[in-house]
Amino acid sequence: MSHHIGEACGTPFQPKAPSSMGGGCINTAIRLSDGISHWFVKLNQASRLDMFEAEAEGLRELADAGAIRVPRPLCTGMADGQAYIVMEYIPLGGNSSGARAGEQLAALHRHQAEAFGWKRDNTIGSTRQPNHWTADWVDFWRRHRLGFQLEEAARNGLGHNIQRLGERLMESFPALMDHAPAPSLLHGDLWGGNLGHDDRGNPVIYDPATYYGDREAEIAMTELFGGFGKAFYDAYDAVWPLDSGYRTRRTFYNLYHILNHANMFGGGYVGQSGRMMEQLLAELG
């Protein structure tokens, strides 16, 4: 890995002992440093190399937009039977009101594509996320987001109730989702744990599940687990107010993430998924 880092940087890299870093439940994270250069590294089993390659491409896509800071990826590869991704190490912990993050996220969403999806599939957590280019947003969300998660739920045996409600929801899609947004560049997995601030107070986003979609899906997820204050939302709305009907669509968009959690972790997320679908169906009368 050190040899690969040196090749990518164009200068030999001989790190000191690695430092363990806190992380999520999916990857092992370490910091590598030779006293001059500092790199953040995520490790996983060899079969997850594709996940890291997609993450690196997603970080580049977000960085190229020039709207909000992300760690620049350096390289991905294999070492001792493990897959890895190496990226810029950014010390976090700076203070911010959140307003700058709201403004910069709105600027990111101004970067748009001709269709919904992305150039490759990636992952949401540890789950595959299909990103086939699709002209129509409602069709994209039906097939490649909720539909895919419901198929995963069936494979994982999450219960008859989830399947029954899911079938009704798929049949009611046109009535529930009468919306034609622009395809905005999204982080894709923007909860509070994936936003930090550097030592100058600049927002930093990381661990993306990048694709082009409805910006409201991004804002909805920021509300799902909390961690984004009033200043964040006020600043976003000042740059680009949300469309009418967002409050209903918010539940629709967040159902995707709760179903994904149900597929990964089971437990209370299964019941929460069912309640969200019942709420959406009840709105049809």
Query: Known catalytic residues?
Result: 189
Residue 252, burial from CB neighbour count under 10 angstroms (0-12, 13-18, 19+)? buried
Location of structure tokens 């594709």: 50
Sign of CA dihedral 276, 214, 118, 51: negative
Each as own residue / partner, the long-range contacts of residues 74-80 (CB below 8 Å, 24 or more positions apart, any chain) are 74/5, 74/8, 74/9, 74/39, 75/4, 75/5, 75/7, 75/8, 76/49, 76/52, 77/1, 77/4, 77/49, 78/46, 78/49, 79/1, 79/4
Q: How many residues does the chain have?
A: 285
Give the integer Cα–Cα distance in Å for 237 and 222. Answer: 14
The backbone torsions φ and ψ at residue 39, rounded to the nearest 5 degrees and listed phi first, read -135, 140
Burial category of 131 from C-beta neighbours within 10 Å (exposed 0-12, middle 13-18, buried 19 and up): buried
Q: Which long-range contacts (CB under 8 A, 24 or more apart) does 156-164 make?
A: 156/263, 156/266, 158/262, 158/263, 158/266, 158/270, 158/273, 159/270, 161/274, 162/262, 162/270, 162/273, 162/274, 162/277
The Cα 20–Cα 106 span in angstroms is 34
